[in-house]
Every structure is written in C-alpha cells, then in structure tokens.
Amino acid sequence: MKKKVFALASAIVIIAIMVITQQNTKGAAMGSGTADGFGGPGAITVNLTIKDGKITAATASGPKETPGIGSVAVEKMPAEMVARNSIIVDGVTGATISSTGILKAAEAALIAAGLNPEDFKGAGNAVVAEDKTYDADVAIIGAGGAGMIAAITAADAGKKVVLIEKQAMVGGNSVRASGGMNAAGTPEENSNTFTEEAGVEKTLKTAAEKWANHPVITALAEAVRKKWEAYKANPQGYFDCAELMQLDTLIGGHGINNPELVRTLAENTADAIAWLKTVNIDLTSVGAAGAASVKRIHRPLNEQKKVVSVGGYMVPRLEAACKSRSNITILMETTAKSIMTNEAGAVSGVIAESKGAKITVNAKAVVIASGGFGANLKMVARLKPELDGFMTTNAPGINGDGITMAQELGAAVVDMKQIQIHPTVQYDSSNLITEGLRGDGAILVNTEGKRFIDEVLARDVVSAAEIAQPNSFAYLIIDQKMVDESLLIQGYIAKGYSFKGDTYEALAKAINIPADAFTKTMNDWNGYVKARKDPEFGRTSFIEPLDKAPFYAIKVTPGIHHTMGGLKIDGRTRVLKGNGEAIPGLFAAGEVTGGVHGGNRLGGTAVSDFVVFGRIAGQEAAKF
C-alpha cells in the first residue's frame, strides 16, 4: 500500500514539474549550454532567458579564452543576441573559434530551455546606423599598441583625441605579442646575475669581419668596444648600452635599416620602460631573445612571478588608460577609408565607415597606427612570391590599408619586400609560439632527433634552417622546469599543442623520431649548458639543462609574422614623400612604418618599436 501511495505521489510531482516547465516555456524560460572554445572542450557557457518569445537576457563565460581576443567575443556577443533577439549575430573577427563556440552554446541553451533554436535564428532587429561627425585635435587610425600609446601621450598633452579601430577589440597584432620588449640600459637588466661575455665578443667579431664597409656599424662597434673594455676592467652591474642595441638591430636587419630610426629606437627604450609604469605596465623579468648580444628582453610577471604574454598583459592596461582619460574617444568597429586634407595640403581629418554609416573625424593632426600587411596574403605573395601559401600569425585586420591611405596623399614607402617569417609557429593552428622559449633554454630538433642550428640566431636564419629540414618543420623541446616557470608554456600545453614523455625515449616515441639519436642530442646539449659552450653550432645563450622530467615537444614551422616595410618616416614620426618632404600633420608609428627593422626584425623589438614611436607620434601630433 505504501509503495502505491509513494508511486502516486511521485507521478503527481512529475506531472507538476511538466506543467511548470510548459508554463515557463510560454512565459519565461531559462537554459544553459556549453560548447568548445579556444580554451578547449566545454570552455564556453552561455545562459539565456526567454520571455514571450524574446531573448530578454544573455550571458556568456569563457575564462580560458584568450584575453583581449576570445574574451571580447564572450563579452560582446550575448548583448547582441538580446538586441537582435537572435542567436545569429556577427562573431568577432580574429576570435573565430571563440565566436563559433558562443553560437553553439547559445543553441544548446535554447534546447535546454525546451525551445526550438530555429525560432531564434532570424535576422532579428535591424540596427540602423547614423552618420556622425566628431571634432578633435588628433585623430588616430588603429587601436593597437602604437595607436593607444599615441592617444595617451597626446591626451596627456591636453589634446582631444579620437581613436578609430576597425575591429571589435583593441590590440591589433600587439595583443598577440608573446615575448617581451627589448630595452637597453634599464635598472631591470641588473636582475641578470652576469653578462654573457661570449655574446658581446661574438657581435663585435661579426661587425669586424662582415660589416667593415658599413660606416655606421663600424662606428657603433668601436663605441661598444670602448665601453666593453671599460666594463671588463671594472665590472659594475650588468653590461648593456644603446649602442649595443643599435648594433644588434642593424646587424640583425642586414644593415639596410635607417640608422636614424634605429638610434631613436634604442636611445629611448630605457625611458619607455620607465614610462610604461605610469600606465600600470611593469616589465620586470629580463631574458634572452634571438640575435641579441645580451639578455635585454623585458617581460611581465604575474602575481606568482610567472612569465606571461606581453601582449595579453599590456593591451588591457593600455585600453584602461585610454578609457580613463575623458579627452579620448574610442570608435570601435569603425574602418578608416581616407585621410582628408585642406587646400594647403595639410591633413584635416579622417573619413571612416561604421555599419554602413559615414563617420567624419575633423582633426588638426592624424596618426596612422594601423599595422602592417601580414594578414593580406595576396599582397604578401605579390611582393614576395616565395611566401605564397605560408600561414600567417597576424590579426585579420592587418592588411595594409593605412599604407594605401597615406600613399594616396603622396607618401613614400620603404623596404616593402622585407617580410619576416617566424620559425616557431604551431604546425596545426598557425598560432605563434614565443621566441622566449628558445631564449629561456629550449632547443629545436628535426625528424632525425638532431639539432640543426643555434636556436637563438636571427629569425630569418633559424627559419631558413628549419625550412631546409625534412618536411620543413621541427620540434621545440622543453622540460618541466620551463613549464613550471611560464604560464605561456602551460597555456600551450592546455591548448593541446604539445607532446609529452616521461623520458627522452618516451618523448621520441611520442613524436616518432629515433630515440637513440634524440637521447644523445639531449645529453650532449645538457653537457654544453653546463660547460657554457656549444661546439656544434656556437650558441652563446645558456640557461639550465633540459633535464627535469617530464619532457615536452611542440611541432613548429615557419609562418608569416611581420612586415618590416611600410611608410617612410623620420625620427619625429612624420610621414615623408618621395622627395623627403613631410606631409603636414601626418604621423605614423608601429608596423605600418618601414626602415626601423631593415631586412629582419629581432624578437622583442616590435614592442620597443610601438612604445617608443607611439610616444613620439603622440607628442609630435599634439605639438602640430
């Protein structure tokens, strides 16, 4: 009898739940759904509330999505779903995986709420954009690192600034920077326990043997030698100087760099590191990067003193600094189309477009900080056919439009065929693996289990050696010590980029290379580190042996990374015509310019470039 009563009561409860669910479907219904994101399986969750057939609330979470990229999609897209009453909304360019995950999670949320997703896949409520006009002292095209720093600098000079960004997020290529910022002569460099004497001597030898006919390199080498001899006679702190950074940059750039720009860059890096602290950016850890004589790449640490991505660290802080200044207006999803000029030929503002509406920004000075053209694969292939078919690490909006707009005003360009490929791009995803891993002690091996190059040479040299290997790829080898010290590496592992082995033999098996050869390579390398001498390839940068299990390998191949060519500027960032005359009121900074890096950019110098020249552009535009 008791069993029958219990069964009847249970049935009544079930019926009641069904009735409540049906009522919620007609009135208010709530559902939660998950989907895969860039952060991995089930990384994205979307919660929806639907009442009377309308999406009244939507939230999303994706704590593992890339800050400043996927996180923007997580923040932006749910609000669009409410505004349009549709789960079919535009994804965020550059965050395709995160955007797709949000759409799939939203569909799953509707199903969980007992609703038909097809009922919420219409065009939704059309958003009608209106033409607008803004008046400013300075208009800036591009909200990457250079653009935001120029905006902050001009604003702090008391000017009214309008910052124009085509994407839904700020950051451009800057947010993708993972290594750090090269700077010479900073207090932070003294955190290094000793100066790598072999690195300085090697650079001076190279200058003497290969660049004796280059007057600028010869003069710099002599200046460095004098300072180096004085330092060795009385070592105080850590040895580095602006002249040595110039020397590294010119040699790394094959001597075709503009010496004026290289000098401006190097001489202002120490002050730039100090200035960054005023906007809550502290680059405290100093490590090694490719083709640098000494350790000078400055990197951020988190609260646990782990190295983190420099772009992901800097960009949100720069954005916060922009938003905290009332005299900076940021126009997102607004594409600059042309630069206006007056009858005298001076710039007078920018014409842009946003969701079909015309946006006019009247301004007395314009700064172009729109980035290079590394994502414009047709343009890359046209300028350098041998790169046709290469993958790219660039953000989607980096397509050279700023260069084109300036050329319409008569601007000259320089070094347009100088396009850099980066040697460590993850083979299956085209995501950049930071050069900092090699600087911190990682090595490269080929499919034969052998090293084939000094891993911290210039990027073009390492890339060429990698392309020459069987199938044009290699494995980047790291150990658990490196993993423990770097959130970047931990992120690569979490994203599934790595292979793992508890021994050298096990890792060799995991990546299908000869175990005997690989084990010998690792044992030899560990011996070189302890002796601080590499008899095979002459590497002079050593950290610690790769001897703490487990061991990891990341499959890498070269990919298009940076365009060294662009608009011709002078040391004041003024955009120049072919005859050397400056276009009145037009300035440029960052990857949109040419001449700084010559034929090859050193790792860590892109950040130096956009900080130093971004500040100068902001100062000069404010003065104009």
Catalytic residues: 459
Q: From residue 274, how far is each of 169, 183, 286, 312, 438 by CA, in Å? A: 27, 11, 14, 19, 27
Q: Which helix (H) or strand (E) holds 447?
A: none
With H, G, I as helix, E, B as strand and everything else as coil, classify residue 399: coil
- Nearest-5° angle of CA 291, CA 294, CA 296? 90
Phi then psi for residue 236, to 5 deg, are -135, 115
- Classify burial at 15, counting beta carbons within 10 Å of its beta carbon; exposed 0-12, middle 13-18, buried 19 or more: exposed
CA dihedral 458, 464, 469, 474 (to 10 degrees): 40
Tokens of residue 178, six digits: 């993972």
**What is the CB neighbour count within 10 angstroms for residue 389?**
7
Q: Which helix (H) or strand (E) holds 210?
A: helix 197-210
Q: Quick check: 377 and 150 in contact, CB under 8 A?
A: no
**What is the CB neighbour count within 10 angstroms for residue 494?**
14
Q: Quick check: 470 and 512 in contact, CB under 8 A?
A: no
Residue type, position 271, single letter: D
Phi then psi for residue 399, to 5 deg, are -125, 15
Q: How far apart are CA 391 and CA 475, in angstroms?
A: 18
**3 Cβ neighbours under 8 A, 6+ residues apart:** none
Q: How far apart are CA 348 and CA 360, in angstroms?
A: 10
Phi then psi for residue 199, to 5 deg, are -65, -45
Q: Kindly write down the DSSP assignment for every residue of 242-301, as one continuous string.
A: HHHHHHHHHHHTTT-S-HHHHHHHHHTHHHHHHHHGGGT----EEE--TT-SS--EEE-B
Q: How far apart are CA 446 and CA 469, in angstroms?
A: 7
Q: How far apart are CA 60 and CA 24, in angstroms?
A: 22
Adjacent-strand bridge partners of 367:
140, 587
**Among candidates 452, 420, 360, which has minimal Cα distance to 600?**
420
